[in-house]
Amino acid sequence: MTSNIKILVIEDSPTQAQLLELILKDEGYIVDVAFNGRDGIEKFQMLKSDLIILDVVLPDLDGFTVCRRLKKKMKTYIPILMLTSRDKVEDRVDGLELGADDYMIKPLEPQEFLARIKVLLRIKKLQDDLQGMLEKERESLEILKRVALVDHLTEVYNRHYFSEVLAAEFEKARRYRNPLSCIMLDVDHFRGFNTLHGHDLGDWVLKETAAILKKHLRHADILARYGGDEFVVLQPMTEESAAAMTADRLCRAVSDTVWESDAGTLDITISVGVASMGNPICHSGIDLIKRADEALYRAKELGRNRYHQYSLL
């Protein structure tokens, strides 16, 4: 006996509907009945039917209209078996062209009727299995993309992906003469911190730093872990002066955070370097990175927990 398979019958004749219901329930199907087109469409939206049996002649909407509307509302494949007492080729063609999956002429022969039902349900199962496989493939692809693009510790972009974005954004900015700025930063005294407190606490600091940076950046900004305790931010359509304001905001956000840990309250700050491709003109994305890095080291020389602009070197 079949179980858990739901069939919606849209049939205006109570006698015919009762007969179909008896035949289907005797096979173990779960059956619901609607006696007009609008009720059938409403029940379809409420129920998760596996198959629909639809009469062509209904008191409000004709079966062809109902079929077309049902197909528009379907998010997955649900077969429709249309029934009619009119043996016209034109009707069968119209029904099939509107999306019906099979067509039967009344009066129905129960064995053939059930056989058609089983064929349609097998097709649905194949479609569902295929859809499931495609979903798993998409999920696997997303996982692979995430592994390829995202740093596993901090959950921001990795250096490889950033390099690709930098090349593309630099070329776009050069071609359209748009501003482009880069921010390089790292955690102050991080090597000594790691030696003193251990890598587990160091990893926690890096993760929290990344979270703070993400919170204080624009959606259009590209944040990546560049290596070790070093992060990089690319800001499209941004002049160096505006990028400097971002750098100041990031410095304050990190230093103002209360860093409570198992080792007590930590004093965590960052040093930041800022550079723009047009101040003076850069010839490549690598040049832009080098400039931001030079500005970063100048910020360290000036005492850390601050930012410095390349144009002020």
Average pLDDT over residues 293-306: 97
Per-residue pLDDT reduced to its tens digit, 154-172: 999 999 999 999 999 999 9
- Chain segment 122-147, per-residue pLDDT in tens: 999 989 988 888 888 888 777 777 77
Six token digits for residue 165: 């974005």
In whole angstroms, how far apart are CA 232 and each of 105, 114, 180, 207, 229?
70, 65, 13, 14, 10
Residue 256 or 90, more confident: 256
pLDDT of 305: 97
Over residues 186-245, the pLDDT tens digits come to 999 999 988 889 999 999 999 999 999 999 999 999 999 999 999 999 999 999 999 999
Q: Does residue 1 have a pLDDT over 60?
A: no
d(CA 313, CA 303): 15
Confidence at residue 35, expressed as pLDDT on a 0 to 100 scale: 95
Q: What are the DSSP calls for 34-100, one per residue?
A: ESSHHHHHHHHHHS--SEEEEES--SSS-HHHHHHHHHHH-SS---EEEEES---HHHHHHHHHTT-
Residue 283 predicted with pLDDT over 80: yes
Residue 127 and residue 135 in contact, taking contact as beta carbons nearer than 8 Å = no
